[in-house]
């Protein structure tokens, strides 16, 4: 079956953050990491069937929910041996990250992040009275991890906003250094389904690397992985995510933090949507979606090379968020583009680098072309 990603979806008037917060109805929104595509038909069919029941009270999470996730990561990503007992479900990856930081730190501790970083990482760290310790994406973390006040590394795999897909060698080095210095790793892997088919890389679950590093060692690297289908299938509003943590004692601490934060309940539609997404039908839809998004990337590269040759488009290996070096003062550039061209994009300053802008490519190509034509003028 061929899916139509060129179909324009008018999202205005649906209380959509991406569009209904815009200055006017003609603004093209290329900012927040929220796609403009309808979700997969298999997800919509499952939600329609559940809606027809008519009762939407408190929900249990069935065994099939866990099994769907276990089977998906084993089949699609080679992450074998996940156990149901390792799961903690919650409403989203950001609440998950915040709860894990709460569980694994004390006030005043440092949390290491690769800069630039997803902006919500900063608030999750600060809200837990911890300090942000930054390191460049391609810098060696050894010197930072030697600091005994660094308790946690917050790893974005693949990396948002740079689009970098970590290699096995890079992840192994990260795991070995964190093991050596007793640094707990939180792996945010919400973007794992978006890998450029032509980049020659693949998403490697951090857990598979950590388990290899731990094999035969007395000193174990402790970690938790945060996953969710919400980015891949454009269902963020359904609020569903999982924390997968194999260590019993750490998992109990995280579960306690989840309950303290009161993010331990999920809604029935999120539970249903995950199970429908993690199927062969969902996988086929996702394969075609990836091809479409990275065709958008190729179009963007060619357009900017012709019309904005001074802008350096960074390689997009993963995610659908394009990172572009515009030289200086991205804040001013983004404001001018919004005020003069009516196109809303993100300045890199919110992620830690004001030399860059971030563009969301997960939209219809016609909308993308219109946005670029406006900026060109």
Per-residue pLDDT of the chain (377 residues; tens, 9 = 90+): 999 999 999 999 999 999 999 988 899 999 999 999 999 999 999 999 999 999 999 999 999 999 999 999 999 999 999 999 999 999 999 999 999 999 999 999 999 999 999 999 999 999 999 999 999 999 999 999 999 999 999 999 999 999 999 999 999 999 999 999 999 999 999 999 999 999 999 999 999 999 999 999 999 999 999 999 999 999 999 999 999 999 999 999 999 999 988 888 899 999 999 999 999 999 999 999 999 999 999 999 999 999 999 999 999 999 999 999 999 999 999 999 999 999 999 999 999 999 999 999 999 999 999 999 999 96
DSSP 277-327: HSSHHHHHHHHHHHHHHHHHHHHHHHHHHHH-TTSEEPP--BSSEEEEE-S
Mind spelling out the 3-state secondary structure of 116-142?
CCCHHHHHHHHHCCCEEEEEECCCCCH
The reported pLDDT for the residue numbered 23 is 85
Give the Cα separation of 375 and 133 in Å (integer).
Answer: 36
Q: Is the dihedral of CA 9, 15, 18, 24 positive or negative?
A: positive
The residues that bridge with 185 in the sheet, in sequence order, are 153, 223
The reported pLDDT for the residue numbered 21 is 92
Local structure of residue 256 (DSSP, 8 states): H
Give the Cα separation of 173 and 91 in Å (integer).
Answer: 31
Could you tell me how far CA 52 lies from the centroid of its own chain?
31
**Residue among 105, 70, 104, 103 at smallest CA distance from 86:** 70
């Amino acid at each position: 079956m061929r899916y139509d990603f060129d179909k324009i979806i008018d999202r205005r008037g649906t209380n959509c953050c991406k569009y209904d917060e815009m200055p006017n109805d003609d603004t093209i929104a290329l900012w927040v990491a929220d796609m403009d595509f309808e979700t997969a038909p298999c997800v919509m069919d499952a939600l329609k069937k559940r809606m027809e029941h008519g009762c939407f009270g408190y929900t249990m999470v069935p065994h099939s929910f866990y099994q769907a996730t276990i089977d998906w990561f084993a089949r699609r990503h080679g992450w074998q041996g996940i156990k149901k007992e390792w799961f903690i479900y919650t409403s989203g990856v950001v609440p998950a990250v915040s709860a894990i930081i709460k569980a694994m730190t004390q006030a005043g501790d440092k949390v290491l992040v690769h800069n630039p970083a997803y902006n919500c990482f900063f608030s999750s760290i600060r809200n837990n009275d911890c300090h942000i310790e930054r390191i460049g994406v391609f810098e060696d973390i050894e010197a930072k991890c030697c600091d005994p006040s660094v308790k946690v590394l917050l790893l974005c795999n693949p990396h948002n906003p740079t689009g970098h897909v970590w290699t096995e060698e890079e992840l192994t080095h990260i795991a070995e250094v964190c093991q050596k210095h007793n640094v707990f790793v939180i792996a945010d892997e919400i973007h794992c389904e978006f890998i450029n088919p032509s980049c020659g890389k693949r998403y490697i679950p951090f857990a598979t690397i950590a388990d290899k590093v731990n094999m035969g060692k007395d000193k174990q690297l402790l970690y938790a992985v945060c996953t969710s289908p919400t980015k891949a299938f454009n269902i963020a509003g359904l609020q569903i995510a999982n924390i997968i943590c194999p260590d019993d004692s750490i998992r109990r601490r995280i579960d306690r933090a989840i309950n303290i934060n009161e993010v331990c309940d999920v809604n029935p539609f999120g539970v249903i949507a995950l199970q429908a997404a993690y199927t062969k039908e969902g996988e086929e839809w996702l394969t075609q979606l990836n091809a479409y998004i990275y065709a958008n990337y190729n179009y963007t590269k060619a357009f900017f090379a012709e019309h904005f040759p001074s802008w350096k488009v960074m390689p997009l290996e993963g995610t659908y968020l394009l990172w572009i070096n515009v030289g200086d003062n991205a804040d001013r550039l983004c404001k001018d583009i919004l005020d003069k061209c009516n196109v809303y994009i993100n300045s890199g300053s919110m992620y830690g680098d004001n030399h860059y802008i971030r563009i969301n490519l997960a939209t219809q190509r016609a909308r993308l072309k219109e946005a670029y034509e406006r900026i060109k003028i």
